Amino acid sequence: MSLFDLPLDQLRRYAPTITEPADLDDFWRTTLQAAESVPVLVEVRPEPTDLRLLDTWDVTFAGFAGDPVRAWYTRPAGVPEPLPVVIEYVGYGRGRGTPHERLTWPVAGYAHLLMDARGQSGQYGVGDTADPHGKAPGGPSPVTRGILSPQGYYYRRLITDAVRAVQAARALPGVDPARVVVAGNSQGGGLALAVAGLAPGLAAVLATAPFLCHLQRAIEITDASPYGEIGTYLAVHREAEAAVRHTLSYVDAAGLVRRATAPVHLGLGLRDRVCPPSTVFAAYHQYGVANGGPVPARSIHVYPFNGHEHGEAVHLRRQLRWLAELLGDPTQPAPPTRSTQPAAAG
């Protein structure tokens, strides 16, 4: 696997203008207000497992259009104190799987809400959430489903689900609503960044190799899936390019993060053809610059000889240490607010 994107010294300066549609804020305000008209928690049911040190609940919450979205809620057993919660979003083609698959955050002492991805089960993992709105014109895969209009696009629904997961987490028992963290890798990382720009009051954002960033460039420089699926669609539907680009401008996390206020921790592989490095640096440089206040603390970690796998366990250790420094002991009350001045890229 060779280098294919900009050299690292240029990436550190790569801060393109992300063109936003004039009605972007109104679009998302209207979308989220419609979702919020429905009570967020539908069902919270204890889930028997063999995990004796953890307690798990099968959660259903109301996402886009009130659709039921499934999630696993897990926390350390026997800990009565309200805990900070890490909301994790899954990668493309995955689902929430089984309760014992993702245990890092609850084992580290945090509450953990793992959100399913509607209509994506079966490619790399198993999920339990349907997508009943897949009839808008577009292609067959999630990334092209409804892609000819912002209103019908799949990622309008999935991003709405991700924001509603924040609201659901704050309503769960044993959660400190002031210490809500969003996290994810690949598609999950892109969702975490999008939510950072749409959900107020987050404590931190963890995103690795994020998808959905600087989409206008991404579909031009890589043929790897999922971006390659958009290219394949346009190779057949040649007349649809303008409509597709217009739709993508509404879900581009590199634009939405301009409104973010929470500290962010990013990671990427320099040889990543799935989510090219320049698209991630575009989001990094735009993060929080138009939030009406100081730019939040930002850090980014680059793994020069890695691709989409980025730093894997090494990076996860960095995330754990960064979050512990930011939030303190998960079982203790929140520490005083830290500085929001930007950190140097590393």
**Is the pLDDT score of 30 beyond 90?**
yes
The continuous run of DSSP H or E covering 197 comes out as: helix 187-198
pLDDT at 344 over 50: no
CB neighbour list of residue 150: distance below 8 Å, 6 or more residues apart: 21, 27, 156, 246, 247, 250, 251
Instruction: Give the whole-angstrom CA distance, residue 323 versus residue 43.
Output: 29
Q: Output the pTM of the full model.
A: 0.95
Q: Rounded CA gap, 314 and 304, in Å? A: 13
Task: Output phi, psi for 295, to 5 deg.
Answer: -70, 130
CA distances from 116 to 57, 197, 231, 334 (A): 14, 21, 26, 28
Per CATH, the number for 8-326 is 3.40.50.1820
What's the pLDDT tens digit per position in 37-54? Answer: 999 999 999 999 999 999
- Catalytic (active-site) positions: 186, 272, 308
> Quick check: 337 pLDDT over 70?
no
Q: Give dist(CA 81, CA 207) in Å, integer.
A: 27
Residue 346 pLDDT greater than 60, yes or no: no
Q: Where are the domains of the chain?
A: 8-326
Look at residue 336 in the predicted model and tell me its pLDDT.
53
CA distance 70 to 234: 33
Q: Which of 263, 111, 257, 110 is nearest to 195 (CA)?
A: 257
Q: What is the pLDDT of residue 189?
A: 98
Percent share of the chain, pLDDT over 70: 96
CA distance linking residue 183 with residue 164, whole number of Å: 14
Percent of the chain with pLDDT over 90: 90
Q: What pairing do the DSSP bridges indicate for beta strands 111-115 and 68-76? A: antiparallel
pLDDT bucket at 124, cuts 50 / 70 / 90 = confident
Q: Which helix (H) or strand (E) holds 206?
A: strand 204-208
| Residue 254 scores a pLDDT above 60 | yes
